[in-house]
Structure formats: C-alpha cells, structure tokens
Chain A
C-alpha cells in the first residue's frame, strides 16, 4: 500500500473505507497510522522485532548483522516515527 504520493511525494491520506460485507462506505479524511507511514522495509523490521519478542540479540542472529547495526536500525526507525509525529 503506498504511503506517499507517486506524483508529488506528499503523505497520502485515506479518503474512504468500505465494508466488504454490507457495502457501507465511510468517506472522510483519515491520516494513516504511524506504522503505515513508515517504508515497507521499516514496517518489516518492526514486525520482525515483535516476532523476536523485542530481542535485538535474536534479531541480529537472524539477520546476520552485528548487534550495534540492528540497534542503529531500530534507533533510526524511532527517529523517523518521532519526526512523523511532530509533522502532525
């Protein structure tokens, strides 16, 4: 799912949501949740992090990276989340 506009690069918003059961359509302007505003790679990293029960050590072993490299990736994601929240 794209989170930035392919034409101008701005942040995308959700304009309508539909129910697949009763065809109800809800229209408005809904900002994407914080996690959805991250890149697919960052989202996958967070999923992997949760799947490893929050252990950077286990993640480092799985990704075959050093512990500080994985820690730095996490800190960079935290920084991007904080920047996105400030833009609100």
Chain B
C-alpha cells in the first residue's frame, strides 16, 4: 500500500483528479522554491542559487510539466495500441512531480554557490546533494509509472519509449529555457 503511494499512485489516481492534486502541489512547490531559490529548469534538473522574479518559478514549473506531458502524449500516440487520453497524461505527470516539493524545501539547506566558484564540500552540502539525487531517482520512478499507466506501454518497449521521450523533453526544455533566460 505504502509502496503504491510512493511509486505508483496512478493505479488508483489519474485523469482530472490527479491533475487537480498535481497542479496544487506543483504551484505550492513553485511558491516554496521562490524562497529557497530552487529552479526546476529542465525535466530532470534542479539548480539552487540564481535570483529571479517570483513568477519565474511558476513559469519554470508549468513549462517543464507541460513539455513532459506533451512529449509523453506524442510518444504514446506513436507507440501505444491503446486509446490514450491527454487528461490522464497531464494528471499523472503533474502528480509525479511531488518529490520536487521536498526538493524545494531541502534547498533552504543548500549553501549559496557564487558564480564561477566551486562550492565548499561541507558535510551539509554533500548530504543535501545526496538527498536531492535520491529525490530525483524517486521522481524518475514515479514518472515512468505515470507514463506506463497512462500510455499502456510496459516492459522493454515501455522503458525504451520512456527513455527516448525523456531525452527529447529534456532537450526541448533546455532550448526553451535558453531563450527565456536570454531575455531576462
């Protein structure tokens, strides 16, 4: 039961309900991130430090989530034999981002890293980094199950399609954020 909640809540929760809960968590995460200066500037990325206006954190979260969902939807249409619904993909990918809520919180403990300087390898820095890596792994596990359940793609085909979609989504998000940051 706990394993299901942690790694695959989508067996019982998808569609509009997952979207409502997922969006609420996403916006709350962006709110906390605006204080801890944690930027989610890629599908798998999180960086702490750059000061930006508060609305930027919300924009980052919405861009990353929507790109992931749209690429997953396209991948599902191409590779899945099932009639997939966009609302399921939107909902499950939004809900899959809940580990980032904890990442935004733990970023308060991350020391400020000055530009062009290496961070001091203190115990707290190492510990926070390890926790952030574990949270990222947790997120990827959730995202895979979101993709697998919403698109009905499993085993080797599902894993291959998931990895491909993730890479494409990451590339597109990096391009978008590159042009976004250029203008700010």
**Which A residues are closer than 8 A to B by beta carbons?**
64-69, 71-72, 75, 79
Task: Decide if B136 is an interface residue (CB 8 Å cutoff).
Answer: no
A65 touches B11 (CB 8 A): yes
Are A69 and B10 interface neighbours, CB within 8 A?
yes
Task: Determine whether the beta carbon of B14 is less than 8 Å from that of A67.
Answer: yes
Can you pick out 26 interface pairs between chain A and chain B where the beta carbons lie within 8 Å of each other? Answer: A64-B12, A65-B12, A66-B10, A66-B12, A66-B13, A66-B14, A66-B15, A66-B18, A66-B149, A67-B14, A67-B88, A68-B10, A68-B14, A68-B15, A68-B84, A68-B92, A68-B149, A68-B152, A69-B10, A69-B12, A71-B82, A71-B83, A71-B152, A72-B152, A75-B82, A75-B152
Which residues on B are within 8 Å of A, measured CB to CB? 10-15, 18, 81-85, 88, 92, 149-150, 152
Closest CB-CB distance, B147 to chain A, in whole Å?
A: 11
Residues in B whose Cβ lies below 8 Å from that of A67: 14-15, 85, 88
B144 to chain A, nearest CB (A): 14
Q: Which of A64, A68, A69 has the most CB of B within 10 A?
A: A68
Q: Which residues of A contact B13 (CB under 8 A)?
A: 66
Nearest CB to that of B18 among chain A residues? A66
**Does B88 contact A68, Cβ atoms closer than 8 Å?**
yes
Q: Is the CB of B82 within 8 A of A69?
A: no
Chain A residue at minimal CB-CB distance from B152: A72
- Cα of A69 to Cα of B149 in the assembled complex, Å: 6
- Cβ–Cβ < 8 Å partners of B15 in chain A: 66-68
In the complex, A66 Cα to B149 Cα: how many Å? Answer: 9
Name the 3 nearest CB pairs between A and B, nearest first.
A66-B14, A72-B152, A68-B88
C-alpha gap A10/B40 in the complex (Å): 54
| Residues on the A chain within 8 Å of B14, using CB | 66-69
- In whole angstroms, how far apart are the Cα atoms of A71 and B149 in the complex? 9
Of all chain A residues, the one with the shortest Cβ separation from B9 is A66
CB pair B150 A68 closer than 8 Å = yes
Shortest C-beta distance, B162 to chain A (Å), equals 15
Q: Which residues of A contact B83 (CB under 8 A)?
A: 71
Cα of A41 to Cα of B152 in the assembled complex, Å: 19
Complex Cα distance A79/B81, Å?
10
Q: Which residues of B are found within 8 Å of A75, using beta-carbon distances?
A: 81-82, 152
Q: Which residues of B contact A68 (CB under 8 A)?
A: 10, 14-15, 84-85, 88, 92, 149-150, 152
Q: Which residue of A lies closest to B92 (CB)?
A: A68
Beyond known contacts A68-B14, A71-B152: 15 more, CB 8 A cutoff: A64-B12, A66-B88, A67-B15, A68-B10, A68-B85, A68-B92, A68-B149, A69-B149, A71-B82, A72-B82, A72-B149, A72-B152, A75-B81, A75-B82, A75-B152
